[in-house]
Structure 1
Amino acid sequence: MTDLTTAVPAITLNNGVRMPQLGFGVYQVPDDETTSAVATALDAGYRSIDTAAIYGNEAGVGRAIADSGIARDDLFITTKIWNSDQGYDRALRAFDDSLAKLGLEQLDLSLIHWPTPERGLYLDTWRALERLYADGRVRAIGVSNFEPEHLDRLLASSTVVPAVNQVELHPALQNRATVAANERHGIVTEAWSPLAQGAVLGEASVVDVAARHGVTPAQVVLRWHLQQGRVVIPKSVTPSRIAENLDVFGFELAADELAVIDMLERDGRTGPHPAEFHAA
């Protein structure tokens, strides 16, 4: 049986930190169910877990980590600063809060969850993350849902280039301008909602490619992401799907198969946009 913990490749971030290319997301998982879901993921072979303050389940993630018996150095834990916690001092307090809930002494990656430019605080928030990074309390810092103009403004006044920009990205919404901006600046693109909450899995082209390889449509879409160098964080609370989403390293998509999935993005198809994330 393949050891999936060693099968998952790692991406080297712009500061030299290695991040697993496939992780486990816990968006919309209630805290009291999160411990079990993360424990199942860790047992399956995941070593990267993505949470956020606004999810309300950092404590559940922390319980699973504590109960796992897995060495801390073998795990990669990400959380995010929520919109209402932006600003230098508030972000520092929010980071401490998250760390306490997770039961950790150091984070692997901390992200600004949204730029919320109407607040005008993301530059101050970034300064807080830069301080935490300099102090060694977090191994890498980055952003989430930042568009090219937000990146440009951040980079014009910062000393640390974000290591990661986590954005909604799937076959129906490929966020090409942001991906291109990330590449220009040496920022890794991480896809949230990589399966479009299942919305693209019934597409004829995806189903056809899956049949050719004897895999599921979800595995095809995750493989499409991976072969283009992105980090992905699929979410499920179903044990069989948790395992299935990790089992994507035994096949490879051909260039024409990648291309036919690329073509799924078209005008009017923007995919899901959880309203919660757009709250100021």
Structure 2
Amino acid sequence: MTMQPDRKDLAPGLTISRILTGLWQVADQERDGKTTDPVSGASALSAYAEAGFDTFDMADHYGSAELITGEMLRRWSGANTPRAFTKWCPEPGPMTPEIVRAGVQERLDRLGVKRVDLLQFHWWSFEHPAWLDALHEMTKLRAEGLIGEIGVTNFDAAHLDLALADGIPLVSNQVSFSLIDRRAAGHLAATCKKHNVQLLAYGTLCGGFLSDRWLGQKEPDAVEDWSRSKYLRFIKVAGGWDVLQHILRAAGGIARKHDVSISNVATRWVLEHTHVAGVIVGARLGENQHRDDNLKLFQFELDADDHAMLDRAFAKANPIPGDCGDEYREPPFLTASGDLSHHLEQMPSAFEAVADPDVPERTRVFSGSLWEPIAGYCRALRDGDRIVVSGTTATHGVDHTVALGDAGAQTTYILDKIAASVRALGGDPKDILRTRMYLRGDEDVEAAARAHGLRFTTNPPANTTFLVGNLIGDFRVEIEAEAVVSPARN
């Protein structure tokens, strides 16, 4: 009997190969303007599916990957139809029902299917709150049968928790996870356990650098593709080439012990985390195939001595800063270009600054809250270098209370709203000097405090927290803030 990859249930009725075939390199191959022939590309994918690697991961911006997969699905005659997972990565802006439906329909049309098995959503800045609108609309389209299951990509622990607390039925989060980038073993692991959400891990080989090929080699002067240029940035942040070599030597010793490759060890380490459903291994269609080597992942397990050896190597490395997905939202941008220029022309503001006609140095922002015009106040006001932000609750749109009953999730949403207000007035969240939190009850203290701590891991402001016993409406938390704009931003 031919060996095949292990399988796992990502959701009821959605069983996947634990090695997903990633198609991001289709876009890399097409950067010279030549489009991959969909017929030959579909034949290459069929070979993967027939070997048991029948779960394919792609995105709207992976060149013609969706079209190639669609061609494969049309030609498929086997009993078990391959799984096609794709991503929708819209530019930040209003997410109306029409915009969301059009984005989903385009995925359906390109894949040539009536339902996307797993549609994964990516958002560039949580300070722009329309991401919740998009996910709620996707939930409605799931109920219509256009989407099988909903996942997200590059969500940190706080915002994964917020989405779930607001009723979004997420089953997965796709994030970077490797011997170099171990962020997904932190806060995100606890959030996945809390909500029974699983990870799909990419970058497990760090662009190929976690392999026998690079053991004992000098750092390359240049790299030949976007994937390697991206992960070389991760390596440099983790401490550089010497740190990579320490980890490679440890993984190499373990590989010799089990008679496998360094790549096997690196990927197996990720797979053994209980909240990881599968790992995504890239395929360059028509080029090197590593299916036989990848099958060795299921022929061995790491023991306590193996983990101890890796832990000693990890101790020499710097942790990648922030939480999962931060590389797409704030410096240091660990993307292929080192910024977001190959993704977005600019990051639009969630709010618009309005000048005071009577006091030129004073500007305001309004968030659209129902009570702002009634009570005669603004969300935030800048006077000179000083910004003051009104008491802010987890109100989304006109009257939707976000994450009803969940103080931690509401704190996350509120702090995003405050950050967006400060940024719209020319400041930066790093300029926030003071926050005051008003909580409904004792039971809210820890959750709100932890959410505040995650938002201000660096540049923590002064803070005072009050138990007020009651708040207007159904809110668990209200927060106000003060900031002084750094001279560097004036």
Q: TM-score, normalised by structure 1?
A: 0.86
1:247/1:105 CA distance change after superposition, 3 Å: farther
**Deviations 1:12-37 (Å, cap 9, x if unpaired)?**
43x56333322100113145165354
Q: Which moved more, 1:145-154 or 1:62-71?
A: 62-71
1:155/1:95 CA distance change after superposition, 3 Å: same
**Deviations 1:223-257 (Å, cap 9, x if unpaired)?**
22222231211113244324422442122221322
Aligned to 1:46: 53
Aligned residues: 275
* 1:97-116 matched pairs, under 5 angstroms: 97-116=106-125
Residue 240 in 1 paired to residue 295 in 2?
A: no
SS of equivalent residue, structure 2 residue 298: coil
- Please identify the structure whose Cα radius of gyration is greater: 2
**Deviations 1:69-127 (Å, cap 9, x if unpaired)?**
234x5422111111328724322211111111111111111111235224322101101
Residue 252 in 1 paired to residue 301 in 2?
A: yes
Question: In the alignment, is the contact (CA less than 8 A) between 1:105 and 1:137 conserved in 2?
Answer: yes
SS of equivalent residue, structure 2 residue 61: helix
Residue 170 in 1 paired to residue 178 in 2?
A: yes
Residue 194 in 1 paired to residue 194 in 2?
A: no
Question: In the alignment, is the contact (CA less than 8 A) between 2:258 and 2:300 conserved in 1?
Answer: yes
Aligned to 2:364: none
* 1:1-280 matched pairs, under 5 angstroms: 1-4=1-4, 7-13=5-11, 17-29=14-26, 30=30, 32=36, 34-56=41-63, 57-71=65-79, 73-84=80-91, 87=95, 88-158=97-167, 160-175=168-183, 176-201=186-211, 202=215, 203-229=248-274, 230=276, 231-237=278-284, 238-262=287-311, 264-265=313-314, 266-267=317-318, 273-275=335-337, 279=344
Cα separation, 1, equivalents of 2:310 and 2:119: 31
Cα separation, 1, equivalents of 2:42 and 2:13: 30
Identity across aligned pairs (percent)? 25
Question: In the alignment, is the contact (CA less than 8 A) between 1:115 and 1:150 conserved in 2?
Answer: no
1:252/1:263 CA distance change after superposition, 3 Å: same
- Select the structure with the greater relative contact order (CA < 8 A; seq sep ≥ 6): 1
Question: In the alignment, is the contact (CA less than 8 A) between 2:91 and 2:124 conserved in 1?
Answer: no
- Deviation (angstroms), 1:262: 4.9
**Deviations 1:23-75 (Å, cap 9, x if unpaired)?**
1001131451653542342243211000110112210121123234234x542
Question: In the alignment, is the contact (CA less than 8 A) between 2:182 and 2:320 conserved in 1?
Answer: no
1:263/1:139 CA distance change after superposition, 3 Å: farther
Cα separation, 2, equivalents of 1:140 and 1:84: 22
Going by fraction, where is strand more abundant, 1 or 2? 2
SS of equivalent residue, structure 2 residue 119: strand
SS of equivalent residue, structure 2 residue 252: helix
- Deviation (angstroms), 1:3: 3.5
1:91/1:264 CA distance change after superposition, 3 Å: farther
1:150/1:94 CA distance change after superposition, 3 Å: same
Task: Note the residue ranges of structure 2 that are not aligned, 5 or more in a row.
Answer: 216-247, 322-326, 328-333, 348-490
SS of equivalent residue, structure 1 residue 105: coil
Aligned to 2:421: none
Going by fraction, where is helix more abundant, 1 or 2? 1
Q: Which moved more, 1:221-230 or 1:79-88?
A: 79-88
Runs of 4+ in 1 over 6 A off after TM superposition: none
1:37/1:196 CA distance change after superposition, 3 Å: farther
Cα separation, 2, equivalents of 1:224 and 1:147: 21
User: AA paired with 1:130?
Assistant: T
- Deviation (angstroms), 1:11: 3.1
User: AA paired with 1:8?
Assistant: D
Cα separation, 1, equivalents of 2:311 and 2:103: 38
Cα separation, 1, equivalents of 2:206 and 2:175: 12
SS of equivalent residue, structure 2 residue 290: helix
SS of equivalent residue, structure 1 residue 96: helix
User: AA paired with 1:250?
Assistant: Q
SS of equivalent residue, structure 2 residue 170: coil
Task: Note the residue ranges of structure 1 that are not aligned, 5 or more in a row.
Answer: none
Cα separation, 2, equivalents of 1:35 and 1:184: 39
Q: TM-score, normalised by structure 2?
A: 0.51
Q: Which moved more, 1:146-155 or 1:126-135?
A: 146-155
RMSD: 2.6
